[in-house]
């Protein structure tokens, strides 16, 4: 799972965010990913979502993507506990 460097807190755009969420959703399906790795990735996604500009044209799509990531996390929780 690739995530933007934390040293660039305002560099995340909605397209990058959508990519990050898609990679997270793919990682959930990988049994080699540990619960802790996925938990850290989900925390990063939530932090990145909070940094998105609500005036950006892709903001609504990023919100839908965040919901999909959270649903995927909840669906997979029993598999990775």
DSSP states of 40-78: HHHHHHHHHHHTS-TTSTTHHHHHHHHHHHHHHHHHHTT
Q: Is residue 1 part of a domain?
A: no
- The pLDDT, as a whole number, for residue 7 is 45
Q: From CA 35, how far away is CA 32, in angstroms rounded?
A: 10
Is 32 contained in some domain?
yes
Domain that includes residue 39, residue range: 14-76
Task: Kindly state whether residue 22 falls inside one of the protein's structural domains.
Answer: yes
Determine the pLDDT at residue 81.
54
**Distances from the Cα of 62 to the Cαs of 30, 47, 70, 78, in angstroms?**
23, 13, 12, 26
What is the count of structural domains for the chain? 1
In a domain? residue 70: yes
**4 within some domain:** no
- pLDDT, position 25: 92
Other Cβ atoms closer than 10 A to 48: 21
Residue 9 maps to a domain: no
- Tens place of pLDDT for every residue, the chain, 81 residues? 555 444 445 557 899 999 999 999 999 988 899 889 999 999 999 999 999 998 888 899 999 999 999 999 888 876 655
């Amino acid at each position: 799972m690739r995530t933007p460097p934390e040293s660039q807190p305002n560099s995340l755009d909605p397209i990058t965010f959508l990519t990050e969420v898609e990679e997270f959703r793919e990682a959930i399906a990988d049994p080699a990913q540990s619960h802790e790795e996925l938990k850290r990735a989900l925390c990063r996604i939530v932090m990145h979502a909070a940094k998105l500009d609500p005036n950006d044209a892709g903001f609504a799509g990023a919100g839908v993507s965040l919901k999909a990531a959270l649903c995927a996390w909840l669906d997979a929780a029993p598999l990775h506990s």
